[in-house]
Structure 1
């Protein structure tokens, strides 16, 4: 119980920090919202306004719903935790985190969770405005909607652990910004956040669909628009959860190796 209270304190502190630096938070959210608006405009031209045109199995109503989910997945778990963690590693302040009576990896996860409710509120506002101007999406049936909700919940720790693994590289390098840009480019492409994976060449679409990145956007989006139903949807969520467990354990192993690189000078 004491440990749980300690983790909640980390979440609360992260939420307060996000509110304190709300300018940076709103700027990052604004960039994601602008991408949503731009993609909606482009795909509305390509697919028409409900006149039956289809590209890669998507018509305009399906693509509109897909883009809304992609916006939500992109806005969740922003870069605040990344930059804070990377700064503390590069400055040596991570040594103070290591002496606290909490698990380092779990504490960072709770810091991530602390900001999720703020991001969720912002997503509701932006998505509501988008729906107001482009029309409401068609909701999936109850079983698929439940799997969609589960996939969105699993998305948070999965996205965290991908970010966490990247940030651990700061124990070996000082250039975190380059790592961040590389990760964003890779996940943006292979997660289906920019375009659905169905638009990729066959071999690349298959590889991306079974990679951990698909769980960051493609899996919840395909379930929401009805392109993954029944056993297929269940399989995609199972793959998402499987990658979450595997990467969580991999992060623990990498953290053990990273600690051997830690050298702190003080006096």
Structure 2
């Protein structure tokens, strides 16, 4: 456990050392939140759209901001660079599991991101008023769903970064992943606004667990058995993608060639 704790601590220190990059990324997400709040407040001024009124949409967008801020892309770029440069060979000789070490690095910076989320949400509440929270049991499910975002988002990021074993350009992979997750997670537009077949497909995909699931539980549009099923789906995708990533990593190592000494 100590080696993984050391990885987590090192990642946290790196995030603090490059706080300018982190603050710029946070600022971009905050500006997007402000823009979406302004747009949806105008659209919902006269009533409901797709079952969402303004208080529900405001709460939904705040949860979407929180889920987008957790688990940044710092670890992605570091991992992709080491794979493309061959430095990953040095990671492989260390007495730690490669995937668990990367997860420890990801988890190490989560507390910093969580503090930033709390600050931004507190400012939002101070300006626009308090958010309605779900009752006790649903609040517990919401908390569980938020916690599951960390391993789920890591699994999505880790799997996409493994593509660097087959491609020289990670930026294109990153942009494709961001576009896919932004759409199918419900981060930009709630899945309820999608055509029926696409909404159903997205709802049971791993991406819905990144935004839609915790947001729907928080605003009360998913409750009881439905909410439990959604959280169980999150957990199921975490397990499937975690072990699927281990298989893909082994295949990727077959393509690894390191020249020089």
- TM-score, normalised to structure 1's length? 0.97
Residue 171 of structure 2 aligns with which residue?
177
Residue 192 of structure 1 aligns with which residue?
186
Q: Please list the CA deviations of residues 231-255 of structure 1 after superposition, one character each: whole Å capped at 9, or x if unmatched.
A: 0000000111111100111100000
Paired residues for 1:92-171 under 5 Å? 92-171=86-165
- 1:112 CA drift (Å): 0.1
- TM-score, normalised to structure 2's length? 0.99
Q: Secondary structure at the match of 2:109?
A: helix
- 1:130 CA drift (Å): 1.1
Q: Secondary structure at the match of 1:78?
A: coil
Residue 53 of structure 2 aligns with which residue?
59
- 1:110 CA drift (Å): 0.4
Q: Please list the CA deviations of residues 204-224 of structure 1 after superposition, one character each: whole Å capped at 9, or x if unmatched.
A: 000000000000000000000
Measure the CA separation in 2 of the matches of 1:90 and 1:175: 9
1:251 to 238, 245, 248: 245
- 1:133 CA drift (Å): 1.2
Paired residues for 1:210-221 under 5 Å? 210-221=204-215
- 1:38 CA drift (Å): 0.3
Measure the CA separation in 2 of the matches of 1:125 and 1:146: 21
Residue 35 of structure 2 corresponds to residue 41 of structure 1 = no
Specify every segment of 5 or more residues in structure 2 that has no aligned partner in the other structure, as ranges.
none
- 1:173 CA drift (Å): 0.5
RMSD: 0.7
Q: Please list the CA deviations of residues 37-86 of structure 1 after superposition, one character each: whole Å capped at 9, or x if unmatched.
A: 000001111112xx6x1111000000000000000000000000100100
- Structure 1: which 4+ aligned runs deviate by more than 3 Å? none
1:224 to 214, 218, 224: 218
Deviates more, 1:39-48 or 1:6-15: 39-48
Residue 12 of structure 2 corresponds to residue 18 of structure 1 = no
Measure the CA separation in 2 of the matches of 1:21 and 1:87: 17
Q: Secondary structure at the match of 2:229?
A: helix
2:72 to 73, 78, 88: 78
Measure the CA separation in 2 of the matches of 1:173 and 1:223: 38
Measure the CA separation in 1 of the matches of 2:156 and 2:86: 22
